[in-house]
Amino acid sequence: MYSQGYISWKLSDKIGVQRISVETGENIVFYENHIDTLPKYTLNYDAQNYEITLKGHLFKTSSGLKAVFPGTGKVFLVDTAAGIIERIDETYYSGYNFDSYQFIRNDTIYSFGGYGFWIQNNLLTYYSDVRKEWSLFGKAPFALESPDLQGPQAQISFYDRLNDILYVVYQNEAYSYSFISRSWKDLGQSSFGLNNQSGYMVHTVSDSTCLLMSSLKTYWWYPGGNSIADITLENGGNLTNRINVLGLACGYSENDKLTVPKHSDKLKLGYYFESLKLRTPPI
Protein backbone atom coordinates (compact mmCIF):
# COMPACT_ATOMS: atom_id res chain seq x y z
CA MET A 1 0.00 0.00 0.00
CA TYR A 2 1.63 3.23 -1.16
CA SER A 3 1.22 6.48 0.73
CA GLN A 4 -0.03 9.74 -0.80
CA GLY A 5 1.25 13.26 -1.40
CA TYR A 6 3.69 12.30 -4.14
CA ILE A 7 6.07 14.34 -6.24
CA SER A 8 8.40 12.73 -8.76
CA TRP A 9 11.01 13.37 -11.43
CA LYS A 10 12.88 11.37 -14.04
CA LEU A 11 16.50 10.45 -13.39
CA SER A 12 18.79 12.27 -15.77
CA ASP A 13 21.26 9.47 -16.47
CA LYS A 14 19.01 6.41 -16.88
CA ILE A 15 15.43 5.25 -17.33
CA GLY A 16 13.94 5.56 -13.89
CA VAL A 17 11.73 7.82 -11.80
CA GLN A 18 12.35 9.00 -8.25
CA ARG A 19 9.24 9.55 -6.14
CA ILE A 20 9.00 11.05 -2.67
CA SER A 21 6.06 11.65 -0.34
CA VAL A 22 5.52 14.93 1.50
CA GLU A 23 3.33 13.04 3.97
CA THR A 24 5.81 10.38 5.06
CA GLY A 25 9.19 11.28 3.56
CA GLU A 26 9.13 7.97 1.69
CA ASN A 27 11.82 7.97 -1.02
CA ILE A 28 11.63 5.37 -3.79
CA VAL A 29 13.26 5.00 -7.21
CA PHE A 30 11.40 3.00 -9.86
CA TYR A 31 13.83 1.52 -12.39
CA GLU A 32 13.06 -0.54 -15.48
CA ASN A 33 13.71 -3.84 -13.72
CA HIS A 34 13.72 -3.16 -9.97
CA ILE A 35 12.70 -0.78 -7.19
CA ASP A 36 15.12 0.87 -4.74
CA THR A 37 13.99 2.20 -1.37
CA LEU A 38 16.27 5.06 -0.30
CA PRO A 39 16.60 6.83 3.07
CA LYS A 40 13.52 8.86 3.92
CA TYR A 41 13.44 12.62 3.56
CA THR A 42 13.29 14.63 6.78
CA LEU A 43 9.99 16.52 7.10
CA ASN A 44 10.36 19.87 8.89
CA TYR A 45 6.65 20.00 9.77
CA ASP A 46 4.00 17.87 11.44
CA ALA A 47 2.39 15.89 8.63
CA GLN A 48 0.20 13.78 10.90
CA ASN A 49 -3.08 15.40 9.85
CA TYR A 50 -2.19 16.08 6.22
CA GLU A 51 -4.52 14.54 3.67
CA ILE A 52 -2.85 15.11 0.32
CA THR A 53 -4.39 12.57 -1.99
CA LEU A 54 -3.31 14.09 -5.30
CA LYS A 55 -0.01 14.16 -7.15
CA GLY A 56 1.92 17.39 -6.79
CA HIS A 57 3.69 19.57 -9.33
CA LEU A 58 7.37 20.51 -9.11
CA PHE A 59 8.74 23.90 -10.13
CA LYS A 60 12.35 25.09 -10.20
CA THR A 61 12.58 28.60 -8.74
CA SER A 62 15.41 30.89 -7.68
CA SER A 63 14.73 29.97 -4.04
CA GLY A 64 14.75 26.23 -4.69
CA LEU A 65 12.59 23.34 -5.85
CA LYS A 66 8.94 23.92 -4.89
CA ALA A 67 6.13 21.38 -4.78
CA VAL A 68 2.47 22.43 -4.93
CA PHE A 69 -0.70 20.36 -4.61
CA PRO A 70 -4.00 21.42 -6.25
CA GLY A 71 -6.91 21.63 -3.85
CA THR A 72 -4.76 22.07 -0.75
CA GLY A 73 -2.89 25.36 -1.18
CA LYS A 74 0.13 23.74 0.42
CA VAL A 75 3.59 24.68 -0.90
CA PHE A 76 6.75 22.77 0.00
CA LEU A 77 10.44 23.52 -0.48
CA VAL A 78 12.32 20.35 -1.44
CA ASP A 79 16.07 20.14 -0.79
CA THR A 80 17.21 17.07 -2.72
CA ALA A 81 20.84 17.47 -1.62
CA ALA A 82 20.10 17.55 2.11
CA GLY A 83 17.07 15.25 1.89
CA ILE A 84 14.79 17.76 3.63
CA ILE A 85 11.25 18.94 2.86
CA GLU A 86 9.92 22.13 4.43
CA ARG A 87 6.41 23.54 4.24
CA ILE A 88 6.75 27.24 3.42
CA ASP A 89 3.17 28.48 2.98
CA GLU A 90 0.68 29.64 5.60
CA THR A 91 -2.43 28.93 3.53
CA TYR A 92 -5.69 29.02 5.45
CA TYR A 93 -8.38 28.62 2.78
CA SER A 94 -8.24 25.60 0.49
CA GLY A 95 -10.40 23.04 -1.28
CA TYR A 96 -11.59 25.29 -4.12
CA ASN A 97 -9.10 24.44 -6.87
CA PHE A 98 -8.90 20.69 -7.35
CA ASP A 99 -7.70 19.87 -10.89
CA SER A 100 -6.47 23.44 -11.33
CA TYR A 101 -3.78 24.20 -13.92
CA GLN A 102 -0.52 25.34 -12.34
CA PHE A 103 2.47 26.90 -14.08
CA ILE A 104 5.48 29.10 -13.43
CA ARG A 105 6.01 32.58 -14.86
CA ASN A 106 8.90 34.92 -14.01
CA ASP A 107 9.85 32.77 -11.00
CA THR A 108 6.28 32.92 -9.63
CA ILE A 109 3.87 29.96 -9.43
CA TYR A 110 0.35 30.58 -10.76
CA SER A 111 -2.83 28.52 -10.53
CA PHE A 112 -5.91 28.79 -12.74
CA GLY A 113 -9.41 27.36 -12.39
CA GLY A 114 -10.27 24.07 -10.79
CA TYR A 115 -13.28 23.18 -8.71
CA GLY A 116 -14.50 22.76 -5.16
CA PHE A 117 -17.49 20.88 -3.82
CA TRP A 118 -19.99 23.50 -4.98
CA ILE A 119 -18.33 25.48 -7.73
CA GLN A 120 -16.12 25.38 -10.84
CA ASN A 121 -14.06 28.54 -10.42
CA ASN A 122 -12.62 31.08 -12.86
CA LEU A 123 -9.84 32.45 -10.68
CA LEU A 124 -6.22 33.12 -11.61
CA THR A 125 -4.11 33.16 -8.45
CA TYR A 126 -0.40 33.24 -7.64
CA TYR A 127 1.75 32.17 -4.71
CA SER A 128 3.45 35.05 -2.89
CA ASP A 129 6.75 34.22 -1.20
CA VAL A 130 6.37 37.41 0.86
CA ARG A 131 2.84 36.78 2.15
CA LYS A 132 3.31 33.00 2.10
CA GLU A 133 -0.15 32.45 0.66
CA TRP A 134 -2.10 32.40 -2.60
CA SER A 135 -3.39 35.77 -3.81
CA LEU A 136 -5.92 36.72 -6.48
CA PHE A 137 -4.40 37.91 -9.77
CA GLY A 138 -7.56 38.07 -11.90
CA LYS A 139 -10.75 36.38 -13.08
CA ALA A 140 -11.65 34.81 -16.42
CA PRO A 141 -14.65 36.26 -18.31
CA PHE A 142 -16.83 33.19 -17.92
CA ALA A 143 -19.25 32.61 -15.06
CA LEU A 144 -18.82 30.37 -12.05
CA GLU A 145 -20.71 27.10 -12.31
CA SER A 146 -21.48 24.02 -10.27
CA PRO A 147 -18.98 21.31 -11.29
CA ASP A 148 -20.24 18.29 -13.21
CA LEU A 149 -17.92 15.70 -11.69
CA GLN A 150 -19.43 12.89 -13.75
CA GLY A 151 -19.43 14.73 -17.08
CA PRO A 152 -16.73 15.57 -19.64
CA GLN A 153 -13.74 17.70 -18.72
CA ALA A 154 -14.83 21.34 -18.46
CA GLN A 155 -11.46 23.09 -18.64
CA ILE A 156 -8.15 22.64 -20.48
CA SER A 157 -5.43 25.25 -19.99
CA PHE A 158 -1.88 25.92 -21.16
CA TYR A 159 0.59 28.73 -20.51
CA ASP A 160 2.45 29.85 -23.64
CA ARG A 161 5.71 31.05 -22.12
CA LEU A 162 7.05 32.26 -25.47
CA ASN A 163 4.24 34.79 -25.92
CA ASP A 164 3.32 35.21 -22.24
CA ILE A 165 -0.28 34.11 -22.80
CA LEU A 166 -2.53 31.74 -20.85
CA TYR A 167 -4.91 29.80 -23.10
CA VAL A 168 -8.10 28.27 -21.72
CA VAL A 169 -10.72 26.09 -23.38
CA TYR A 170 -13.79 26.12 -21.15
CA GLN A 171 -17.02 24.34 -22.11
CA ASN A 172 -15.78 24.33 -25.74
CA GLU A 173 -15.27 28.11 -25.71
CA ALA A 174 -11.67 29.36 -26.18
CA TYR A 175 -10.13 32.24 -24.24
CA SER A 176 -6.70 33.81 -23.87
CA TYR A 177 -5.15 35.99 -21.20
CA SER A 178 -2.22 38.23 -22.13
CA PHE A 179 0.04 38.97 -19.18
CA ILE A 180 1.57 41.80 -21.23
CA SER A 181 -1.69 43.71 -21.73
CA ARG A 182 -3.33 42.15 -18.64
CA SER A 183 -6.50 41.48 -20.59
CA TRP A 184 -8.72 38.53 -21.51
CA LYS A 185 -9.93 37.81 -25.03
CA ASP A 186 -12.82 35.59 -26.09
CA LEU A 187 -11.49 33.61 -29.07
CA GLY A 188 -14.85 32.06 -29.90
CA GLN A 189 -16.09 28.52 -30.21
CA SER A 190 -13.45 25.80 -30.05
CA SER A 191 -13.53 23.21 -32.81
CA PHE A 192 -11.33 20.78 -30.90
CA GLY A 193 -14.12 18.56 -29.62
CA LEU A 194 -11.83 17.61 -26.74
CA ASN A 195 -14.50 17.99 -24.10
CA ASN A 196 -16.36 15.00 -25.46
CA GLN A 197 -13.83 13.00 -23.47
CA SER A 198 -12.49 13.46 -19.98
CA GLY A 199 -9.24 13.06 -18.11
CA TYR A 200 -6.81 15.06 -20.26
CA MET A 201 -3.47 15.86 -18.67
CA VAL A 202 -1.37 18.74 -19.97
CA HIS A 203 2.29 17.88 -20.55
CA THR A 204 4.51 20.78 -21.64
CA VAL A 205 6.69 20.05 -24.68
CA SER A 206 8.14 23.49 -25.43
CA ASP A 207 7.58 27.14 -24.51
CA SER A 208 4.60 27.27 -26.89
CA THR A 209 3.37 23.67 -27.31
CA CYS A 210 2.09 20.85 -25.14
CA LEU A 211 0.60 17.37 -25.21
CA LEU A 212 -2.95 16.66 -24.09
CA MET A 213 -2.71 13.09 -22.87
CA SER A 214 -5.49 10.69 -21.88
CA SER A 215 -6.24 6.97 -21.86
CA LEU A 216 -7.90 7.21 -25.29
CA LYS A 217 -6.11 9.93 -27.26
CA THR A 218 -2.99 12.08 -27.19
CA TYR A 219 -3.00 15.43 -28.98
CA TRP A 220 -0.25 17.91 -29.77
CA TRP A 221 -1.52 21.44 -29.13
CA TYR A 222 -0.04 24.71 -30.40
CA PRO A 223 -2.63 27.28 -29.29
CA GLY A 224 -0.67 30.31 -30.51
CA GLY A 225 -0.83 28.91 -34.04
CA ASN A 226 -4.40 27.64 -33.65
CA SER A 227 -3.15 24.12 -34.38
CA ILE A 228 -3.90 20.74 -32.90
CA ALA A 229 -2.96 17.26 -34.14
CA ASP A 230 -3.87 13.75 -33.10
CA ILE A 231 -0.51 12.03 -32.48
CA THR A 232 -1.86 8.91 -30.76
CA LEU A 233 0.45 5.97 -31.47
CA GLU A 234 -1.13 2.80 -32.84
CA ASN A 235 0.36 0.75 -30.01
CA GLY A 236 -0.91 3.22 -27.40
CA GLY A 237 2.61 4.00 -26.24
CA ASN A 238 1.87 7.67 -25.58
CA LEU A 239 -1.47 7.12 -23.84
CA THR A 240 -1.75 7.48 -20.09
CA ASN A 241 -4.24 7.32 -17.27
CA ARG A 242 -5.04 10.06 -14.77
CA ILE A 243 -5.36 7.45 -12.00
CA ASN A 244 -1.79 6.17 -11.71
CA VAL A 245 -1.55 3.60 -8.93
CA LEU A 246 2.11 4.46 -8.32
CA GLY A 247 1.43 8.19 -8.05
CA LEU A 248 3.73 9.06 -10.97
CA ALA A 249 3.26 11.80 -13.57
CA CYS A 250 1.63 11.17 -16.95
CA GLY A 251 5.00 11.54 -18.67
CA TYR A 252 8.54 12.87 -18.32
CA SER A 253 10.35 14.76 -21.09
CA GLU A 254 14.08 14.91 -21.72
CA ASN A 255 15.25 16.59 -24.92
CA ASP A 256 13.25 14.85 -27.68
CA LYS A 257 12.41 11.79 -25.56
CA LEU A 258 9.20 11.06 -23.66
CA THR A 259 9.05 8.49 -20.87
CA VAL A 260 5.53 7.28 -20.04
CA PRO A 261 4.92 5.12 -16.93
CA LYS A 262 2.52 2.24 -17.59
CA HIS A 263 0.62 0.00 -15.18
CA SER A 264 0.65 -3.75 -15.81
CA ASP A 265 -1.00 -6.53 -13.82
CA LYS A 266 0.96 -9.10 -15.84
CA LEU A 267 4.42 -8.00 -14.71
CA LYS A 268 5.82 -8.77 -11.28
CA LEU A 269 6.82 -5.14 -10.72
CA GLY A 270 3.35 -3.96 -11.72
CA TYR A 271 4.66 -1.32 -14.10
CA TYR A 272 6.94 -0.61 -17.06
CA PHE A 273 8.19 2.45 -18.94
CA GLU A 274 7.52 3.39 -22.56
CA SER A 275 10.53 5.35 -23.81
CA LEU A 276 9.52 7.19 -26.98
CA LYS A 277 11.04 9.61 -29.42
CA LEU A 278 8.82 12.67 -29.27
CA ARG A 279 7.49 13.26 -32.79
CA THR A 280 5.41 16.42 -33.21
CA PRO A 281 4.32 18.48 -36.23
CA PRO A 282 6.61 21.34 -37.31
CA ILE A 283 5.66 24.86 -36.25
Residue 77 sits in the same domain as residue 129? no
Counting DSSP H helices and E strands in the chain, the numbers are 0, 24
CATH number of the domain at 186, please: 2.120.10.80
pLDDT tens, N- to C-terminus, the chain (283 residues): 445 799 999 998 889 999 999 999 999 999 999 999 999 999 999 987 777 767 899 999 999 999 999 888 999 999 999 999 999 999 887 778 888 999 999 999 999 998 877 778 899 999 999 999 999 999 999 877 765 555 555 689 999 999 999 999 988 889 999 999 999 999 998 876 655 556 789 999 999 999 999 988 999 999 999 999 999 999 999 998 876 778 899 999 988 899 999 989 899 999 999 999 988 888 8
Establish if 40 belongs to a structural domain: yes
Sign of CA dihedral 43, 44, 50, 55: negative
Residue 93 sits in the same domain as residue 81? no
Question: Count of domains in the chain?
Answer: 2
Residue 9 CB: number of other CB atoms within 10 A? 16
Residue 58 sits in the same domain as residue 144? no
Establish if 228 belongs to a structural domain: no
Residue 12 sits in the same domain as residue 50? yes
Q: Which of 70, 88, 106 is the last residue of a domain?
A: 88
Residue 61 sits in the same domain as residue 93? no
Q: Which of 72, 88, 104 is the last residue of a domain?
A: 88
Sign of CA dihedral 111, 146, 4, 198: negative
The residue segments making up the domain with residue 35 are 1-88
In 3D, which of 77, 13, 11, 58 has the Cα closest to residue 38?
A: 11
Residue 50 sits in the same domain as residue 83? yes
Residue 38 sits in the same domain as residue 17? yes
Establish if 55 belongs to a structural domain: yes
Residue 144 sits in the same domain as residue 184? yes
Q: Which of 137, 167, 198 is the last residue of a domain?
A: 198
Residue 98 sits in the same domain as residue 78? no
Residue 111 sits in the same domain as residue 179? yes
DSSP 150-174: TSS--EEEEEETTTTEEEEEETTEE
